[in-house]
Amino acid sequence: MNFTKMHGLGNDFVLVNGFEEDINDLNELAQQICDRHFGVGADGLVLILPSEIEEADFRMRIFNPDGSEPEMCGNAIRCFGKYVYENSLTDKNKIKVETLAGIIIPELIFEGDEVEAVKVDMGEPRLHSDDIPITGVDKDKVVKEKLDIDGEEYEITTVSMGNPHCMVFVDDADEFPVAEIGPKIEEHPRFPAKTNVEFIEVVNSAEIKMRVWERGAGVTLACGTGACGSTVASILNELTDNKVEVHLLGGDLTIEWAKNNHVYMTGPAEEVFIGEWRK
């Protein structure tokens, strides 16, 4: 099986062209190939597939290192958009991609003939408690909700970008024990589908620093949907403007919650290497 290793701000993926490769046991394959000691090593396995609906150009499936299948991944969709263009699967610079979170539209940004960045229309954020989902509350917006973790009360804001996100504002994102608190929130019984967890330090009205615990993956260097959810949460809490630079461990993303209620994410995607999986 041929594959391409790509990353978006250090959030790395193994991409496989499903037009050419016949792949079985995707859950098991993801666990094997994402293993950083015995496999290629990645935060996810991404499949490029023909769309099953007429409105879209392609279909994206993504699997976490634990074999679970999330609805969407912002960094992966930027890699996906660059891959299909540079591998001549399309000549479009704006691509409609079918995902479990709906149709997502990455737009390629060029510098000369090279793809410099990818801007993605991530769609509208979903804010109702049922859309996250989170139990114990029935609200149009879950802002400053209390969550008990081992007897300590955390103040959370939740957003769905097609996948669930729980945001916690902290004084120092670098020093916060993400690896300790993240999994406890991810698996909290109030999140029946589990959740991604973002810890946000507000730098100023146009900048935030974010650290992430990804559902099914753990600590990663970046999370695109998490950056989108964190921006929405920052705006809902009246802490930032509607366009924000999000500083992640792997680099920066520009996120805008526009007047049309859509969230736009702009950032890089890079190819690392190509290879052949023989297991």
Q: Is 11 among the annotated ligand-binding positions?
A: yes
Q: What is the mean pLDDT of residues 261-273?
A: 98
**Which pLDDT does position 73 carry in this prediction?**
96
Contact 161, 72 (CB under 8 A): yes
Percent of the chain with pLDDT over 70: 100
Q: What is the value of pTM for the model shown?
A: 0.93
Choose the catalytic residue: 34, 79, 166, 223. Answer: 223
Tell me the percentage of the chain whose pLDDT exceeds 90: 98
**Mean pLDDT, rounded, for 197-216:** 98
Is 79 assigned a catalytic role?
no
Q: Tell me if residue 223 is catalytic.
A: yes
Strand blocks (E) in 9-144? 11-17, 44-50, 58-63, 97-99, 102-111, 114-121
CATH fold of 129-261, please?
Diaminopimelate Epimerase; Chain A, domain 1 (3.10.310)
Q: Does domain 2-117+269-276 have CATH number 3.10.310.10?
A: yes
- Scanning the chain, the segments in alpha helix (DSSP H) are 26-34, 74-86, 178-186, 224-236
A 10 A CB-CB count for 24 gives 6
Residue 149: per-residue pLDDT = 97
231 is in an annotated binding site: no
Question: pLDDT tens for residues 220-260?
Answer: 999 999 999 999 999 999 999 999 999 999 999 999 999 99
Q: Per the annotation, does 163 bind a ligand?
A: yes
pLDDT for residue 219: 96
Marked catalytic residue, from 34, 73, 79, 228: 73
- Residue 27, marked binder: no
CATH 3.10.310.10-classified regions of the chain: 2-117+269-276, 129-261
Predicted confidence band at 24 (pLDDT cuts at 50, 70, 90)? confident
Listed in sequence order, the residues at least 6 apart from 251 whose beta carbon sits closer than 8 Å to its beta carbon are 9, 10, 222, 267, 268
pLDDT at 23 over 90: no
Q: What is the mean pLDDT of the chain?
A: 97
Residue 174, number of CB atoms within 10 A of its CB: 11
Contact (CB, 8 A) for 258 and 264: yes
pLDDT at 71: 95
Tens of pLDDT, residue by residue over 97-155, are 999 999 999 999 999 999 999 999 999 999 999 999 999 999 999 999 999 999 999 99
231 within 8 A of 263, measured Cβ to Cβ: yes
215 annotated to bind ligand: yes
Annotated binding residue 75? yes
Assign 62 a pLDDT band (cuts: 50, 70, 90): very high
Closest CA to 27 of 71, 56, 68, 62: 68
pLDDT number for residue 35 = 97
Over the stretch 147-197, which tens digit does the pLDDT of each residue have? 999 999 999 999 999 999 999 999 999 999 999 999 999 999 999 999 999
Residue 279 has pLDDT above 90, yes or no: no
